[in-house]
Structure 1
Amino acid sequence: MIAGNPSFASYLVRAGTSRKISGLDAYFKRWDEAYKDPQGTLQQALQRYPSYPGHDEQALLIQAFKWLGRSDPQAAHDLLAQLPNSWRINSDEQAEIARVFALKAAYTRMPQAYNWLMALPASVQDKETRTWTARAALRVQDWARLKVAIKAMPVDLSQTPQWQYWLARADAELGKNLEAKARWQALVHTPDYYGLLAADRLGIAYPWPKIPPLPTMDTRAVEKNPTVQLAFYLHAAGLTDDARRAFLSALKEIPREQIPALTLLAEQSKWHDRVSIAIARMKKQDDPHWFAARFPTPWESTVDAQAKAQGIASNWLYGVIRRESLFMSDVGSGAGAQGLMQLMPNTARWINHKADLGLTTMNLHDPTTSITLGAAYLSYLKDKFNGQLPLAIAAYNAGPGRVRQWLPEDRNLPGDVWVDTILFDETRNYVRAVLSATMIYAWRESKERESNKSSQNTDNLLSLLTPVQASNPTTLSSVKPAATVVAERVAGN
Structure 2
Amino acid sequence: GKRAEAYQAYQELISDFAEAFEGMRRLAPDALTLAQDLIAATYYSDALEVLRDPALRDDPRYKAVRAQALFSLGRYDEAQEAYQNWLATSPEDTTARMGLARSLGRLGRLEEALEIYRDLDTAESRLAQAEILESRGEIEEALALYRDLPYPVAWWRAASILEREGRAQEALPFYARLGSAPIGLSDDAAYRLYVLARRLDDREMQSQAVSLLQDATSSFFPLLLGDGSFLAPVASAPARAGDAILAKVRALEILGLDELARRELRMAARFNYSAGIDLSMAQALAQRGRVQDAQQIAEQSLRELDPAPLAFWRLAYPKAYRREVEEAAQEFGLDPLLVWAVMRQESRYNPEAVSRSYAQGLMQLIPSTRDMIARQLGMRLRPFDVFNPRINVRLGAYYLRFVLDQFEGDVDYAVAAYNGGPGNVARWLEDPLVVTKEDFYRWMDLSETREFVQKVMFNYRVYQWLEVMQAS
Say which of 126, 130, 136 aligns to 2:155: 130
Q: Deviations over 1:449-479 (max 9, x none)?
A: 45xxxxxxxxxxxxxxxxxxxxxxxxxxxxx
- Pick closer, same or farther for the CA change 1:309–1:434 going to 2, 3 Å: same
RMSD: 5.0
Give the percent of matched residue pairs that are identical in Structure 1 and Structure 2: 19
Superposed displacement of residue 438, structure 1:
1.7
**2:347 touches 2:364 (CA, 8 Å); kept in 1?**
yes
- Pick closer, same or farther for the CA change 1:337–1:62 going to 2, 3 Å: closer
Q: Deviations over 1:308-334 (max 9, x none)?
A: 322333222111111112222233335
**1:69 touches 1:97 (CA, 8 Å); kept in 2?**
no
- Which residue matches 1:48? none
1:321 aligns with 2:358: no
- Which residue matches 1:174? 200
Larger mean CA deviation between 151-160 and 434-443 belongs to 151-160
- Pick closer, same or farther for the CA change 1:175–1:217 going to 2, 3 Å: same
- Which residue matches 1:99? 127
Distance 2:48 2:278 in 1: 54
Distance 1:58 1:441 in 2: 57
Q: Deviations over 1:19-76 (max 9, x none)?
A: x99xxxxxxxx999996459999xxx9xxxxxxx98756766643322244565xx63
The amino acid that maps onto 1:199 is G
Residue pairs, 1:193-232, within 5 angstroms: 193-200=220-227, 206-209=229-232, 211=234, 214-220=237-243, 222-223=245-246, 229=249
Distance 1:110 1:438 in 2: 42
- Which residue matches 1:119? 145
Distance 1:275 1:111 in 2: 53
Larger mean CA deviation between 414-423 and 134-143 belongs to 134-143
1:292 aligns with 2:314: yes
Superposed displacement of residue 433, structure 1:
0.5
Distance 1:83 1:345 in 2: 43
Give the 3-state SS of the residue equivalent to 1:332 in structure 2: coil
Distance 1:414 1:245 in 2: 50
Superposed displacement of residue 196, structure 1:
0.9
- Which residue matches 2:300? 281
- Pick closer, same or farther for the CA change 1:9–1:307 going to 2, 3 Å: closer
Structure 2 stretches of 5 or more lacking a match?
A: 1-31, 59-66
Distance 2:305 2:164 in 1: 32
TM-score (norm 1): 0.64
**1:118 touches 1:133 (CA, 8 Å); kept in 2?**
no
Residue pairs, 1:19-168, within 5 angstroms: 36=76, 62-70=98-106, 76=110, 78-79=111-112, 89-92=119-122, 95-100=123-128, 102=130, 116=142, 119-120=145-146, 125-137=150-162, 142-153=167-178, 155-157=180-182, 160-168=186-194
Residue pairs, 1:327-476, within 5 angstroms: 327-356=349-378, 363-400=385-422, 403=425, 408-410=430-432, 412-450=434-472
**Pair member with larger Rg:** 1
Distance 1:254 1:428 in 2: 38
- Pick closer, same or farther for the CA change 1:207–1:330 going to 2, 3 Å: closer
**1:196 touches 1:206 (CA, 8 Å); kept in 2?**
yes
Give the 3-state SS of the residue equivalent to 1:339 in structure 2: coil
**2:180 touches 2:212 (CA, 8 Å); kept in 1?**
no
Q: Deviations over 1:202-234 (max 9, x none)?
A: xxx73513556533222235547x7xx499859
Give the 3-state SS of the residue equivalent to 1:364 in structure 2: helix
- Pick closer, same or farther for the CA change 1:183–1:424 going to 2, 3 Å: closer
**1:199 touches 1:206 (CA, 8 Å); kept in 2?**
yes
- Pick closer, same or farther for the CA change 1:65–1:183 going to 2, 3 Å: closer
Superposed displacement of residue 432, structure 1:
0.7
- Pick closer, same or farther for the CA change 1:166–1:406 going to 2, 3 Å: closer
Aligned length: 411
Superposed displacement of residue 164, structure 1:
2.9
**1:231 touches 1:247 (CA, 8 Å); kept in 2?**
no
The amino acid that maps onto 1:125 is P
**2:114 touches 2:129 (CA, 8 Å); kept in 1?**
no
- Pick closer, same or farther for the CA change 1:188–1:363 going to 2, 3 Å: same
**1:337 touches 1:343 (CA, 8 Å); kept in 2?**
yes
**2:164 touches 2:433 (CA, 8 Å); kept in 1?**
no
The amino acid that maps onto 2:182 is L
Give the 3-state SS of the residue equivalent to 1:428 in structure 2: helix
The amino acid that maps onto 1:217 is R
Give the 3-state SS of the residue equivalent to 2:339 in structure 1: helix
Give the 3-state SS of the residue equivalent to 1:392 in structure 2: helix
- Which residue matches 1:266? 285
Structure 1 stretches of 5 or more lacking a match?
A: 22-29, 46-52, 451-493
Distance 1:411 1:172 in 2: 16
**2:347 touches 2:362 (CA, 8 Å); kept in 1?**
yes
- Pick closer, same or farther for the CA change 1:329–1:9 going to 2, 3 Å: closer
**1:381 touches 1:395 (CA, 8 Å); kept in 2?**
yes
Higher relative contact order (CA 8 A, sep 6+): 1
The amino acid that maps onto 1:64 is L
The amino acid that maps onto 1:317 is V
Give the 3-state SS of the residue equivalent to 2:385 in structure 1: coil
